[in-house]
Amino acid sequence: MSESLHKVLSAAVLRLLRPLVRVLLRHGMAYGTFSELARKAYVEEGFLQVAEAGKRPTVSGVAALTGLTRKETKRLRELEVVDDEASSHRYSRAIRVISGWTSDPRFQTGAGAPAVLSVEGGQGSFSALVKEYSGDIPPAAMLSVLESSGTVSVGDHGVTLQARAYMPSATPAEKIDILGSDVAELLATIGHNLAVEPSERLFQRKVSNVRVAPETVPAFRRFSDRKSQQLLEEYHDWLTSHEINPSDDDAPEPAYLAVGIYYTEQLPDGEDRS
């Protein structure tokens, strides 16, 4: 690696790590734990890269690639890290429930708005919505998740959708799980685009402006929220219409597709409001 490329890469990594470390410090993760996880990530990616190169991955080969000792490479290869799959599944299934509520006519008013749903009942109830879009998650459990996050409210007339997007706010573990899934997907896209020919790059764009009048920021934030939500709902409708029927024995192995949109702002006081 040339010295100039090393400097640019080092600066990019530092910019990437600082907001991550900010989150880690706020939630009590010490450097020792982070260092252990970073070394394990090197080992796992090392084994993967050697295999993708068509070679048989060995502890010695990965140790040479990563700069770790063979003893450390073997230990980290065997180290198990707890992965909260339940939290991840609950996050994605909650999203599916809200998306179905905002796009499926069976759960909408005549004007196309999300209807107030009875908790129990037949077609058009909250229970029916959950059974349709969340798989085997019990309706009561899903209602608790959505209510605790402020996404829905429960009243005398039924369940009302309060927000057209699910963001876990009551359980810190679920919030942090988004850090591991959504940020990882963005980094994977950037890494892919750095490695392939222009014709094979995935869509990765952003729009920004450094001369925006501060008093217009709230208006643009509302405008951005509205337009982004509309676009995501269009994507959801398209993806839903192209889903594989899980009961079809001849169906191919399904693919995972995702498009993410994020908003960030830096006001004159210098505070990052990402």
Joined tokens for residue 133: 């879009």
The verdict on 100 and 135 lying in the same domain is yes
The verdict on 121 and 147 lying in the same domain is yes
Q: 167 in a domain, yes or no?
A: no
Q: 95 in a domain, yes or no?
A: yes
Where in the sequence is the domain holding 39, given as residue range(s)?
3-81
Q: Check: CB of residue 143 under 8 Å from CB of residue 154.
A: yes
Q: Of 81, 107, 130, which marks where a domain is finished?
A: 81
Q: Of 161, 183, 211, which marks where a domain is finished?
A: 161
- The rounded distance, in Å, linking the Cα atoms of 177 and 20 is 13
Q: Check: CB of residue 265 under 8 Å from CB of residue 215.
A: no
Joined tokens for residue 234: 């269009």
Is the Cα dihedral 6, 12, 18, 24 positive or negative? Answer: negative
Q: 9 in a domain, yes or no?
A: yes
Q: Of 51, 81, 111, which marks where a domain is finished?
A: 81
The verdict on 7 and 77 lying in the same domain is yes
- Residue by residue, pLDDT tens for the chain (274 residues) are 677 888 999 999 999 999 899 888 877 678 888 999 999 999 999 999 999 889 999 999 999 999 999 999 999 998 887 555 555 555 568 888 998 899 899 999 988 899 999 998 888 899 999 999 887 789 999 998 888 888 899 998 899 999 887 766 555 666 777 888 888 899 999 999 998 999 999 999 999 999 999 999 999 999 999 999 999 999 999 998 898 887 788 888 889 999 999 999 988 765 565 5
Q: Check: CB of residue 165 under 8 Å from CB of residue 198.
A: no
